[in-house]
Chain A
Amino acid sequence: MSQSTLPSKSSLSRITNGFNSLPTGVQGFVNATIGMGILLFFWWVGGLLIANNPDTEAFAGFAPGSAFVALWALITNGELWGTIYSSLYRILNGLFWGIVIGVPVGILVGYFIRVRQIANMPLQFLRMISPLAWMPISVLAFESWDNAIIFLLVMATLWPILFGTAHGVQRIDPNWFKVARNLGADGYQMLRRIILPAIGQDVFAGIRLAIGVAWVVLVPAEYLGVTSGLGYAINDARDTLDYGKLAAVVVVIGAIGYMLDFIAVKLLKRYSWHAG
């Protein structure tokens, strides 16, 4: 009975949660360490192969040893923090605007059939354009490089958030609206007390996907004009043949990406009402 009256776990959340149902506690920690150990091993072997091949030995800096030395230098001389700050500033801005535009539009698209019918084609069309394809337009349209990059990031974050929200609204049990109206809810109360809590987890699942895409788009976007950020640091290290530093920045990108995803998963769980 309770199964039939309350919707079951959505397919979306099942997909996005799949990787989070890892064992917890000591066992989980041990397994994670083993996993990272394997990754490090392959990296180390790769480094050896590169160093021992006369054609590629100039790139020996990619190996873990020199990468961690370079990483330590980046941390101690403080260069890293400014770099991370610039990138995070852009990412958070991109996310902020993605949410500010994506959630309300997503609600309208999900709630009103007419809006959905009108907006579906153009939105699907825009969604299929690679965020990076907007680069020339973005550079023309925005005076500052920072804003141009943020625009590219918004074009990356907007779609998962918008479609995640719309999907969530469409999935709301029609009885929930009926019951709320019956209890005297006005439009604002319907939004605040019913729709927003109902779609919380869909929105955060969208945000999680958005963070993933934005983080991927960020690095090539920072090859553009700017002189700060992780993408710039990579480009700069390449130009100065400092491959240890390049590998160190790659490590940092992976680590921060992982942390952002971790935070998104925490939020997703916090706003998810599905039992279990």
Chain B
Amino acid sequence: MSYKASNVWIANLSHTFKKQVKPTLSDINLSIPKGQLTALIGRSGCGKSTLLQMIAGLMIPSDGAIRIGGHTVTKPSAKWNMMFQNPSLYPWMTVRESAALGLVFAGTYKDKKDKVEDLLDMVGLSELKDENVQKLSGGQQQRVALARSLATEPEVLLLDEPFSALDAFTRTTLQNEVAQICHDQGITMVMVTHDIDEAVAMADNVIIMSQNPGEIVGDLKVNFSYPRDRNSEEFIILKEKLFGEFEKIDQAKQKELLEMA
């Protein structure tokens, strides 16, 4: 577990929610490499969102530590930013105001106006900068949220099922774009997903989580150059491999749970 080589480093993290006996997350140790996209997959309710929010500093684990680039995470920061499943835009703002919000909070918007314009161009919203966000489609709103997250130049971007509410076409486009951004800009990304396709299409590493308690049970490197052709043999083989891995772990876990009962 090399701490220097990784951007997000998690040691012995466990979490039990208030008024609960069983831990939701148990003894998680992770070292997430810099500048790469790491996907976190696992069944619904296994604690993926909880773990991500802890990395973002929005929740404090009952045990263990999280460090990002040498800083211990204790509270939210513009350096590690989280993008939610739901774009959560503020309906009284324009597209530009939304994207600039993090910079406004930091007091640096005046110096970085161009940055916001460039980002909005990059996510394909050049024409809509002055529109109220309520006029946008779901996919366009999610792009605004992406621009907003990138504007503060985070070292780490955490994505919690960011595309799950989108239609298949928009989803595929955004998946490719985000993976591209990750590698072009060298941002470390951690992405929660339900979707094996999405994981294989985007990730450099896949981490598999199991349930009750949530723990890390496996990982897989995806050495596959971009852009990834989803119809290629390589892609399909990787997908099956990941699926197999997931099933195997899941079955072992089920069995273990049955034996315990």
Q: Which of A24-32, A120-128, A171-179, A211-219 contacts B (4 or more CB under 8 A)?
A: A171-179
Residue in B76, B78, B90, B165 whose CB lies within 8 Å of A1 = B165
B residues within 8 A CB of A189? 104-105
Q: A184-B76, A193-B104, A197-B92 given as contacts; is B81 within 8 A of A2 (CB)? A: no
Q: How large is the interface on A (under 10, 10 to 19, 20 to 34, 35 or more residues)?
A: 20 to 34
Q: How far is the CA of A189 from the CA of B78 in the complex (A)?
A: 14
Q: Are B88 and A173 in contact (CB under 8 A)?
A: yes
Chain A residues, Cβ within 8 Å of B87? 5
Residues of A within 8 A of B77 (CB): 184
Asked whether A5 and B90 contact (CB < 8 A) given A181-B58, A184-B78, A184-B102, the answer is no
A193 to B105, CA, bound (A): 9
Q: How far is the CB of B25 from chain A (nearest CB, A)?
A: 19
The residue on B at minimum CB distance from A178 is B58
> What's the count of A-B pairs with C-beta under 8 Å?
78
Q: Is there a chain B Cβ closer than 8 Å to A36's Cβ? A: no
Query: Does A194 have its Cβ within 8 Å of any Cβ on chain B?
Result: yes
B137 interfacial by beta-carbon distance below 8 Å: yes
| Bound form: Cα–Cα A176–B145 in Å | 12
- Nearest Cβ on chain A to B228's Cβ, whole angstroms: 26
In the complex with contacts A1-B138, A182-B76, A175-B102 CB distance below 8 A: no
Nearest CB of A to B105, in Å: 5
Contacts of B78 in A (CB 8 A): 183-184
A residues with CB within 8 A of B: 1-2, 4-7, 173, 175-176, 178-186, 189, 193-194, 197-198, 200, 273-275
The chain B residues found within 8 Å of chain A, CB to CB, are: 56, 58, 76-78, 81-82, 84, 86-92, 101-102, 104-106, 132, 134-138, 141, 148, 152, 165-166
Sample of 16 more A-B contacts, CB < 8 Å, known A2-B134, A183-B81 = A1-B137, A1-B166, A2-B141, A5-B87, A5-B138, A6-B134, A7-B91, A175-B84, A178-B88, A180-B105, A182-B76, A183-B152, A193-B105, A197-B92, A198-B90, A200-B92
